[in-house]
Amino acid sequence: MFFVACEPLDIKKIPILQTGEAIDVTYSSATVSGLIIDAPGDVLEIGHCYSQNPNPSVNDIKIQTLNGFRPGEYIYTQINDLVQGYTYYVRAYAITNDNQEYYGDEISFQPGPFPDDWGITVIEPQDGEFWPLEKSKTISWQSSNIDSFVVGIYDTQIKQMFYDVGKVSSVEGQYTYTINFTLPNDGKLTVGYDYVVRVMGVKYDQYYDFKGFRATNPVINQISEPNSTSRWNRGREYSIAWTSNDIDVVDIDLYQGTNFVADIADGQPVNGGTYPWDIPITVEPGTGYSIKISYTDYPEVYKISDSFEILDNAVINVTAPANSETLAKGTAYTIKWTDNIEENVTIELWQNGALIETIVSDIPSNGTYSWTPSSVLSTGTNYVIYIKSTIDPLIFGVSGVFSIN
């Protein structure tokens, strides 16, 4: 038997890797493990690479670890900034000193679900608000765990974004955000049509919220009551009346000349353009009063009424018949009174607390009325004349007690 000696074979060892599994998977991150089965001394770099496509390589995204150069040693890599709806492919990798690349087996995973408390809620505008063209509006919203947003004016019918209002970014958490935006009057929006403010997450665009508003061009056309002929009594209720377009809430104020006197109403819904005003008895009688009506949200939109007069508390004083007078049947008699009311009056004949007849139901309150007692009236005493407001029967005057013969 012959033995032949030869030089030993030069067999190069290569890294042997095993890609582990994805653990601690959340909506935006995951930790991937790996095992080094064999790692020769010429390993320069080791870690994980990943992609949204199969067979990822170091030419995609790679994350180098600081350990794992000894056989049997585990490595762990955290992958951040994951996007919902995508599948991620991962392989462990090693690079040797001669720039050779070696890979482990491939695994895949998807990001986990978002937490239940995530979301965006638009606070302003509130649904149905009026938003005037060329007026500034505050857009505000709350969010939970969404850190960047795109805000725009959007038409949900034609799915068109008219204005990119702005982008907002911050750290994650629960916050309230505010943007001041002036709605342009450049013909893109139509007055009287409904649109929405949309706030949407940039990275997580499945999170968004809408709130509707109506594009408007507000104006207060006129104030019809009070007017230049109005003479209103303090202590009585009157109806302030006006017409307007594209205004939902108003402030109503009382002025005398240029001097502010009192708030009548703040933030009052338009309600067809009327407001019942009970004039306080603290308002001094006088002339030169006016009503100012302004748009609550945009007080520069306003109208001032004609000047009118505020009178003292309403009073009717019947001066004739007087006490102990005697009126003859069939003979004309002039009933007389004074008052400070605008409306018409009713004149009634009473005896012993009972209504005998309505002499006249509705005449201008001009201070006199010619009346001829009827022959069918009973001859007797304890007659009185009542003169009453046709609007408020609690405003009345009573004559002296007289007789009819």
The model's pLDDT over 43-70, given as tens digits with 9 standing for 90+, comes to 889 999 999 999 999 999 999 998 767 8
What is the model's pLDDT at position 293? 98
**∠ CA 326-332-336, rounded to 5°:** 75
pLDDT in tens, 194-210: 999 999 988 778 888 99
Residue 85 has pLDDT above 90, yes or no: no
Residue 396 · residue 319 · CB < 8 Å: no
DSSP bridge pairs for 34 = 19, 75
Pairing state between β 148-155 and 160-169: antiparallel
Q: Enumerate the CATH 2.60.40.10 domain ranges in the chain, comma separated.
A: 16-109, 220-309, 316-404
Amino acid at 189: L
* CATH number corresponding to 220-309: 2.60.40.10
pLDDT in tens, 129-161: 889 999 888 899 888 878 788 999 988 878 888
Q: Enumerate the CATH 2.60.40.1930 domain ranges in the chain, comma separated.
A: 119-216
What is the model's pLDDT at position 2? 53
pLDDT in tens, 318-348: 999 999 999 999 999 999 999 999 899 999 9
Q: What is the mean pLDDT of residues 357-376?
A: 96
Confidence band of 170 (pLDDT split at 50, 70, 90): low
pTM above threshold 0.75: no
Percent of the chain at pLDDT above 90?
67
Q: Distance from CA of residue 258 to its chain's centroid? A: 32
DSSP bridge pairs for 101 = 95
Looking at per-residue confidence, does 201 or 317 come out higher? 317
What is the model's pLDDT at position 161? 86
Residue 280 has pLDDT above 70, yes or no: yes
Confidence band of 257 (pLDDT split at 50, 70, 90): very high
The residue written with tokens 């496509």 in the block is 53
The 8-class DSSP code of residue 9 comes to: P
What is the model's pLDDT at position 116? 74
Q: Is 313 helix (H, G, I), strand (E, B) or coil?
A: coil
The 8-class DSSP code of residue 235 comes to: T
Confidence band of 42 (pLDDT split at 50, 70, 90): confident
- List Cα–Cα distances, 104 to 43, 107, 377, in angstroms: 15, 9, 123
Residue 97 has pLDDT above 60, yes or no: yes
Percent of the chain at pLDDT above 70?
95
Residue 249 · residue 296 · CB < 8 Å: yes
Superfamily of domain 316-404: Immunoglobulins (2.60.40.10)
CATH: 2.130.10.10, 1.10.10.10, 2.60.40.10, 2.30.130.10. Which one for 16-109?
A: 2.60.40.10
What is the model's pLDDT at position 204? 78
What average pLDDT does the structure give for the chain? 90
CA distance linking residue 234 with residue 322, whole number of Å: 29
Question: Which residues are CB-neighbours of 33 under 8 A, at least 6 positions away?
Answer: 20, 21, 23, 74, 75, 76
Question: Which residues are CB-neighbours of 158 under 8 A, at least 6 positions away?
Answer: none
CA distance linking residue 18 with residue 37, whole number of Å: 7
Looking at per-residue confidence, does 147 or 254 come out higher? 254
Superfamily of domain 119-216: Macroglobulin (MG2) domain (2.60.40.1930)
